[in-house]
Structure 1
């Protein structure tokens, strides 16, 4: 690369993060290498190793950069709208990082522990589950949800179906599919 087109700072970092997601999509986490990321980003491995000691550190930073802030707590006054808003946030997160977060979790380790797991849990999994649980509590207080359905397991059903669909079907649910998930699966489980 000539010095006239050399990227630095934010431009180089953006190219590296983009390369991380492209490589995760192409080869998966287990086959992901610093060399492969450097090649995809059109930079040298030394540029990566100056900032990140391992692929785990690099993938964690890429996820922190790409993942949106946790979803806001539901407050629409309707359990249906609250569920849709929170599940849409989860779906959009999958789109933002090309599903890499969940692919990494699937491949990272058998025990589900590690830096990447912690990042995904803090930025996606836990906030989404908490927002959904709170939506169920508020729905029960309004009489839209039967009290026995206000459980953490029930709150996990929507995210589990979205992640399962993403991992097995390889695509992303569109708005109509999300509405079907809420209307045909979740709301019948919740009704008084």
Structure 2
């Protein structure tokens, strides 16, 4: 089997004329299917194209190699900051942000994240890159904004408006998820907010 021949887990479908977001979603779904069935090492651009029911030219026009494709698929599956508008008070803001991250980690793509994280080689690095770029960086800004609103109301010590504090909540969830697996209960999210974050930031 050549480096770009379809992996044994590819479920070939007739090519369709899908375009735009519909085609992109089909390609990303195929990436996750291939990662789950054959793993990072045996996933190829050919196997993804066959599973998505499109030509591999559609992939190469957007992604130079499978690593770039996998990173974009992981990014797309992670929570977008625009999905979490301000809730009106500090505790509700923190709960909403952490719940959104938890739900994304436990989505149907969570198994793929676990598999990639556990696989030796570049797989774990791709997970870290996607989580860092899509979760830690943008959500850190949302946490800082929530803390700043709390500081303006006298609920937060201005001295704690730091990236270290803003990273604490997401880091605890991601640490729990990758070390203990899926199944982060609501009680854990609430405890992170009430027993850790709020105690850290109160004047």
TM-score normalised by length of structure 1:
0.72
CA drift at 1:46: 4.0
1:190 positional shift: 1.8
Aligned partner of 1:174 among 141, 164, 185: 185
CA distance in 2, matches of 1:60, 1:181: 29
Aligned counterpart, 2:32: 21
Stretch deviating more after TM superposition (70-79 or 83-92): 70-79
Report the RMSD for the aligned CA atoms in angstroms: 3.7
Instruction: Report matched runs for 1:57-72 at 5 Å.
Output: 57-71=68-82
Q: Deviations over 1:105-124 (max 9, x none)?
A: 896489x7x8x93x654433
Q: Deviations over 1:44-75 (max 9, x none)?
A: 88467544431112213323543443246763
Q: Residue 159 of structure 1: SS of its match in structure 2? A: helix
Q: CA deviation at 1:159?
A: 0.7
Q: Do the aligned residues in 2 keep the contact of 1:90 with 1:128 (CA within 8 Å)?
A: no
8 A contact 1:95–1:172 mirrored in 2: yes
Indicate how the Cα distance of structure 1 residues 188 and 21 shifts in structure 2: closer, same or farther if over 3 A, else same: same
Structure 2 unaligned residues grouped into runs of 5+ = 1-10
Q: CA 1:71 to 1:92, structure 2 compared with 1: closer, same or farther past 3 Å?
A: farther
Unaligned regions of 5+ residues in structure 1, if any? none
- Provide, for residues 80-115 of structure 1, a one-character-per-residue CA deviation record: whole Å limited to 9, x for no partner: 1111111122223323472456876896489x7x8x
Which moved further from structure 2: 81-90 or 70-79? 70-79
Q: Structure 1 residue runs of 4+, over 6 Å off?
A: none
Pick the aligned partner of 2:87 from 70, 76, 86. Answer: 76
Structure-2 separation of matches of 1:138 and 1:32: 48
The more displaced of 139-148 and 127-136 is: 139-148
